[in-house]
Structure formats: C-alpha cells, structure tokens
C-alpha cells in the first residue's frame, strides 16, 4: 500500500474553526454564569440609616462571595482551545508549504524582540517565509500596529495558558468597581449653606459586612448602582490580568480569530458561522 508523502497532504483548517467555536461557546456560557453570580451579590447589598440619622450606608450583608473553582477549570479549557487552535494553524501552514511538521511545530508568541529569532527558527521550521513574516508582524512586540485586533490578547492568552498548564488554576474573584450615584430626591427645605454631601465607596474584593458606600447625609435619597464584576486573583502580572475576566477572554478570542484570519486570507478559511461572537 502506498502512503502519501507529507508534501502531498493538503492543509485542512476545519479543525481550527471547530476549536475556536468551542472556545467561544464555552466563554459565552461562563460569562452568563458570572453575570448571574454578580446579580446575586448585588441583591445582598442593603441600605441602612444610622441611629443618629446623620449617615446612610449600603452594606453587603451576604456571605463573603467565593467564585466557584469550577470557573477556573472552565477558564483553563477555554484558554487551551484557543491556544491550541494557533498551534494547529502552524501545522497546517507547514503542510501548505509542502513541508513536514513535527514535535517542534508551534505558534510562537513573544513579547520582546530578543525572544523572537530563536523561537521562530525552531517552532516555524517548514513555514514559508511569507507566513513567517506575517506571524512576526502580529506578535505583541510593538503592539501589532495596523492589525484588526489587539495583539496584546495573544500575550494574555499565552501567559494565562502557561500559568494554568504549568503552575496552578487561574482563580477569579468577585470585585466591586465602586458605586455609581445619582440623587433621587433633594429635600425642598435644604438650605443652600448646607455642608456638601461626602461619601466613601468600596473598591476591590468583597467580604461579609463590608460597607459598600457611606454618605454623610441621610436626608438626601439616592439610588446607587453597584457594579460587581469578576476579575482575576492577583498573580503579580497586572499587564495580563488587568480588567474583568469576560473582557479579557473576549480579547483573547478576538486575537486568535484575527491571527487566523490574517494567516488564512486567500486560503480555505475556518468557519465561524453558527455562533454569536464571544
């Protein structure tokens, strides 16, 4: 029986599209769960007026919110699907160039120019020079100027995926982004010389009994909004984790879609239809 040589194998990008679609579906489901969790946290914020009537507060009266560890596992699966889609892409680019991919074949993601040369020479062996140049252009080294996506999303994906794969789960925490205020009713007899209304709002992680907002005047009625978001627990790499989790995941997803789109332009493109954008 004759076996086709690697140079005779046609590239197939279908699996790449399937990986990205799966990651997008997972990301959408996780965001929905996070949104419901945040809404439940908000419902435990209670308005209270102090006994002396001088101060009004909004206090979190629920148990200290703890994000399910299952979220971290699901985040790892999303990251893996997106990161492996890029590696699969390079495998197909080697085939498209009539060469043989191997264990070395991978999609390099580097933040600094000094890391590019050695990594590209190893991981991109067999890729055409034109595709190597394109992969270099979309690296998050100078921020990927002129690209239809934010190249920093690739670096975030690479870093978070490595943390999940080699160190520990990437944990999430519920966080207060600070209250948003709008006065509902000013008392008609409030003198113009009355002291200004001052307050303090809570930022960051939330705990049981935490004062989310305090105002020095209880006679003015307010309807504050308390944006509650899910953020990554501090891992000492703020460039990677700054922002809310669903937004960072969406940036990673859009960066992968963008990279694949740039590198498959003019070829049989992966299919993204049939799912909403994450």
* Helices (H), ranges, 9-57: 14-42
Residues of the chain under the 70 pLDDT cut: 1-10, 143-145, 182-195, 268-278
Predicted pLDDT at 276: 43
For 149, other C-beta atoms within 10 Å of its C-beta total 19
Structure pTM?
Answer: 0.86
Q: For 166-188, how does the pLDDT look when each residue is reduced to its tens digit (9 = 90+)?
A: 999 999 999 999 998 765 555 55
Strand partners, 215: 56, 199
pLDDT for the residue numbered 11: 81
> Structure tokens of 93?
């680019």
In this predicted structure, what is the pLDDT of residue 277? 46
> What does the domain layout of the chain look like in residue ranges?
8-181+198-263
Q: CA end-to-end span of the chain, whole Å? A: 46
Phi, psi angle pair for 16, to nearest 5°: -65, -45
């Amino acid at each position: 029986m004759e076996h086709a040589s690697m140079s005779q194998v046609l590239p197939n990008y279908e699996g790449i599209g399937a990986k990205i679609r799966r990651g997008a579906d997972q990301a959408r489901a996780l965001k929905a769960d996070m949104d419901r969790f945040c809404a439940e946290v908000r419902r435990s914020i209670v308005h209270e007026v102090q006994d002396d009537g001088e101060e009004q507060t909004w206090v979190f009266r629920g148990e200290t919110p703890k994000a399910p560890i299952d979220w971290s596992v699901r985040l790892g699966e999303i990251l893996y699907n997106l990161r492996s889609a890029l590696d699969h892409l390079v495998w197909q680019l080697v085939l498209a160039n009539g060469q043989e991919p191997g264990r070395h074949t991978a999609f390099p993601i580097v933040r600094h120019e000094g890391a590019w040369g050695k990594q590209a020479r190893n991981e991109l062996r067999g890729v055409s020079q034109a595709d190597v140049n394109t992969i270099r252009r979309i690296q998050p080294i100078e921020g990927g100027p002129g690209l239809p996506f934010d190249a920093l999303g690739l670096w975030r994906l690479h870093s978070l995926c490595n943390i999940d794969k080699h160190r520990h789960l990437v944990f999430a925490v519920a966080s207060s982004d600070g209250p948003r205020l709008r006065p509902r009713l000013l008392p008609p007899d409030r003198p113009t010389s009355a002291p200004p209304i001052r307050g303090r709002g809570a930022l960051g992680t939330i705990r049981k009994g935490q004062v989310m907002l305090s105002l020095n005047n209880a006679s003015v009625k307010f309807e504050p909004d308390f944006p509650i978001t899910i953020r990554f627990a501090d891992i000492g790499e703020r460039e990677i984790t700054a922002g809310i989790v669903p937004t960072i995941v969406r940036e990673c997803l859009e960066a992968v879609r963008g990279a694949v789109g740039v590198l498959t332009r003019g070829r049989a493109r992966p299919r993204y239809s049939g799912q909403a954008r994450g």
